[in-house]
């Protein structure tokens, strides 16, 4: 299914708020007062992002989370990768099977390589958008890109 999980959506929303309040530690409570998002779930997501090193945490009263790096250097792709793994697109991608789950078609699959190309292009899209870009919305939707 070509859809981000709710966890990822909430993660991006939370992170965009951290960008707005750059430097300061922001509590989950504050985020949930600003956006109608389920508190506990957002908390779980931020914990994950903390384990992955995208944010830093501070415990206790007045604690919270803050970006561990400048917003420019954290991409949407990094966030997606941290929360749901690098997008695979297909189940038959070489090197993705450290243990099990090798696609039956693997050896003779006629679409493995083309799909892999799409995957790389898609990943590149995600990597080219940073949290900074997420916040400073450009005026208009861009169109087109280099042809495949």
What is the rounded radius of gyration, in angstroms, for the C-alpha atoms of the chain? 18
Q: How far is CA 4 from CA 25, 29, 145, in A?
A: 26, 24, 22
Residue 44 · residue 33 · CB < 8 Å: no
Residue 148's SS3 state is coil
Residues 109-138 that bind its own copies (CB under 8 A): 109-111, 113-118, 120-122, 124-126, 128-129, 133-135, 137
Note whether 32 and 39 are within 8 A (CB). Answer: yes
With binding defined as CB under 8 A, does residue 89 bind its own copies? Answer: yes
Question: What six digits make up the tokens of 127?
Answer: 């990597």
Binding test (CB under 8 A) with its own copies, winner from 24, 33, 35, 63: 35
Exactly one of 23, 36, 98, 100 binds its own copies (CB under 8 A); that residue is 36
16 binds, among DNA, its own copies, none (CB under 5 to 8 A by kind): its own copies
Summarize as ranges the residues that interact with its own copies (CB under 8 A): 1-6, 9, 12-13, 16-17, 34-37, 76, 80, 84, 87-92, 104-105, 108-111, 113-118, 120-122, 124-126, 128-129, 133-135, 137, 141-148
């Amino acid at each position: 299914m070509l859809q981000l999980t709710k966890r990822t959506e909430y993660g991006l929303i939370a992170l965009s708020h951290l960008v707005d309040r750059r430097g300061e530690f922001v509590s989950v409570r504050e985020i949930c007062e600003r956006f109608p998002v389920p508190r506990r779930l957002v908390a779980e997501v931020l914990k994950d992002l903390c384990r992955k090193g995208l944010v830093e945490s501070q415990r206790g009263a007045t604690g919270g989370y803050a970006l561990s790096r400048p917003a420019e250097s954290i991409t949407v792709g990094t966030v997606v990768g941290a929360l749901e793994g690098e997008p695979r697109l297909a189940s038959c991608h070489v090197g993705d099977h450290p243990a099990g789950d090798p696609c039956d078609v693997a050896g003779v699959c006629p679409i493995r390589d083309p799909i892999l190309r799409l995957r790389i292009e898609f990943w590149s899209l995600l990597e080219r958008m940073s949290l900074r870009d997420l916040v400073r919305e450009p005026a208009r939707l861009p169109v087109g890109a280099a042809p495949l």
